[in-house]
Amino acid sequence: MALNPFFLQGAQSEQRLIQDLINEQLTIYGVEVTYIPRKYVRKQTIIEEVQSSKFDDNFALEAYVNTYEGYSGAGDVLTKFGVSLRDEVVLTISKERFEDFIAPFLSSMPDDEIEVASRPREGDLVYFPLGQRLFEVKFVEHEKPFYQLGKNYVYELQCELFEYEDEVIDTSIDAIDTQVQDEGYITTVQLVGAGVTATASVTRNSGYIRQIFLNDDGAGYTTVPNVAISTAPDIPGRVDATAVAITTVRGGVHSIESIRLTNAGCRYSTPPTITITGGGGTGAAATCSVETVLDGITNISVVQEGSGYVVAPAIGFINEFTGVGTGPAAAVAVMKESSSVGLAVSNFQILDPGAGISGIVTVTIGNPAFISTTGNYQFNELVTGQSSGTEGRVKEWDLDTLILKVSNVGIGTTAVGFLPGETVVGSSSSTVYAVQSYNKDDIYDEYASNDEIEAEADLILDFTQSNPFGSY
């Protein structure tokens, strides 16, 4: 039979009264937590699996702690991979408060970021200030208490301690954002700032080694061999030539690729003898030709080694005149670690001294990455490599060492990492530095033992076999 029409079975006024009483109780006996909705950044196109997400909004919300005697769950569990924290907490929040003060903001966000805005969602985060911990919502109970006066008034959030998986957390609240500052896969970018251009002086002479011919590249060289050139004739102004060997590996064989002059010498009238010794190999042999009439570049001396280089700069010559020969002079710079920032020029190797050079010769050296280094990278800001397009999130920035720690590198892109020589620009701070080197390994995770595990595995399995796991 129908319900008694003389009893309202839950009037709206009574429902509002209960909701107001619940809201008041929550503000009196509850704690202020921070509700952080999960936004989807990238999904797999086939099965809509979320591959990356972010948390960049926050809402203050009062909540009653149901687990008043302490955290529930399994607690601290010792596993094969260390201690696992499995604390849980149950929070009760006002349904009206969420729908009136949080849901409207969520519904205004793009649909591909927020799929359900009308209620709390599994996967969202709650910051619990009393324990200074982040919890993830695992289940939302919306029918408890069960339809008092025909309506539900609260959401019960069953939460577990949040396990960070390289999500972007940027709520602008330091107490929350720094929760994961040292968590996740963190790589390192060594940057350089404004540098100083190197300078050098040029010596030209005649009677120098014009070209070195590698007659036999030898084999078995495990280190760089010594190259000795016989002395120049005992004539006033003579300079003995010097050279270095450049080794390479082809097909597993270590051999000499070329021999480069560091000083072409002068006053040679006949080709000197070249002797190659050491390096653990044998068989290498070389001869040379000399230029006895025309002048060439016989030596390049470092005047200012410069700083701030990330790669060897280009070397050129001005006011040279090539009368005869195979072409203009050419040289390369040899780099070393700078005493200030980046790399510096250590010395030069002459690829071709040239011939028929007259007048004053000036060597030109390419500039380092002359960039503005005003400002500092900000925690959690997005930084972008201007050549590679690689993106990452700032975890830590050390101005003294110019070491930038980043996470989420290349997520959602095909980028392989930051490239040496490119500039890295901060999206918020507009700070710019140049990349000297990029280390893809996470050297800051004290529990990471990938290399040790691989080394031990190699002792067990012989991967030189076609089937190291057994026979057919």
The DSSP line for 242-264 is EEEEEEEEETTEEEEEEEEEEE-
User: Does the N-terminal peptide bond of residue 145 adopt cis geometry, omega within 30 degrees of 0?
Assistant: yes
- Cα angle 295, 296, 301 (rounded to 5 degrees) comes to 125
Dist. CA 448–CA 459, nearest whole Å:
19
Which two tokens mark 382? 């997005």
pLDDT value of position 257: 93
**What does the pLDDT read at residue 323?**
45
Mean pLDDT taken over the chain: 87
Q: Is the pLDDT of residue 325 over 60?
A: no
Residue 58: count other Cβ atoms within 10 Å of its Cβ: 18
| Mean predicted confidence (pLDDT) in 51-62 | 89
- As a whole number, mean pLDDT of residues 2-24 equals 86
* Rounded average pLDDT over 443-450: 66
Q: Which residues contact 150 (CB under 8 A, 6 or more apart)?
A: 9, 10, 15
Give residue 102's pLDDT: 95
Q: Given this model, what pLDDT does residue 5 score?
A: 76
Percent of the chain with pLDDT over 70: 90
Q: What pLDDT was estimated at residue 22?
A: 94
Quick one: pLDDT at residue 184? 82
Q: What is the pTM of this model?
A: 0.64
The predicted model gives 55-65 an average pLDDT of: 95
User: What mean pLDDT is predicted for residues 329-349?
Assistant: 88
Q: Supply the DSSP string of 391-422, one letter for each residue.
A: EEEEEEEETTTTEEEEESTTTTS----PPTT-
pLDDT range class, residue 70, cuts 50, 70, 90? confident
Name the band, by pLDDT with cuts 50, 70 and 90, for residue 334.
very high
